[in-house]
Amino acid sequence: MPPVHVSNHPLVAHHVCTLRNPATQPSEFRRVVRQLTTLVAVEATAGLPTRGVRVPTPLGEAAGHVLADRIAIVPILRAGLGMADGLLDLIPDAEVWHVGLYRDEATLQPKEYYNKLPKKLGASVAIVVDPMLATGGSAVRTCEILRAVGIRRLVFLALIASPQGVEALCQAIPDVAIHVAALDEGLNQVGYIVPGLGDAGDRQFGTVPAE
């Protein structure tokens, strides 16, 4: 199993249970996605480089540290949108870039339909967010897109991951830092994480098909 950081924070475990519950309504689901993202992101950003500064205070001057690099948050559309807000709560000055991918249900391969990366990159670190790291196809493709435009430092943040998805991402881009709230058993025959939480996009945006 490739290296992946699985959070052991009790609040993370608590919120994951709320997301898994099929009775959780879209408004509550979105709120918990945002909270859970913020919690996992605190751990995922612990290794970001800083530079020393001196800042004035009401009583003098203090030594401190600020982020050394500009950060880009890259939500994979559409499900990653809810996670972007949780990261912006932590890093409000971050740039937000969007990559749109959908999974071909026949081949399980990612298909790109939208790419809104700036022509002139202002960030040197990208945090890619997607609630589910299932087969790993969308994660790998997004990270490949970012590497192709010159982003060397990548962090991938998911809420639920499968061992297969983690392995696929690590094999394709070995130096990506992967942080997840929970690592599940595996994938079913159609490539969904089990036990998982269902379709994260549908559950966030209220588009779960009627039974």
Catalytic site includes residue 93: no
Catalytic site includes residue 38: no
Tokens 């997301």 identify what position? 19
Q: Which of 103, 142, 152, 203 is catalytic?
A: 103
Catalytic site includes residue 104: no
DSSP 68: S
Q: Which of 24, 38, 147, 199 is catalytic?
A: 199
Q: Which of 89, 107, 152, 207 is catalytic?
A: 107
DSSP 210: P
Amino acid symbol at 207: T
| Strand ranges, E, within the chain | 5-6, 50-57, 60-67, 71-77, 95-96, 98-103, 110-116, 125-129, 132-133, 153-161, 177-183, 186-187, 193-194
Catalytic site includes residue 199: yes
Active-site annotation, residues:
103, 107, 199, 202
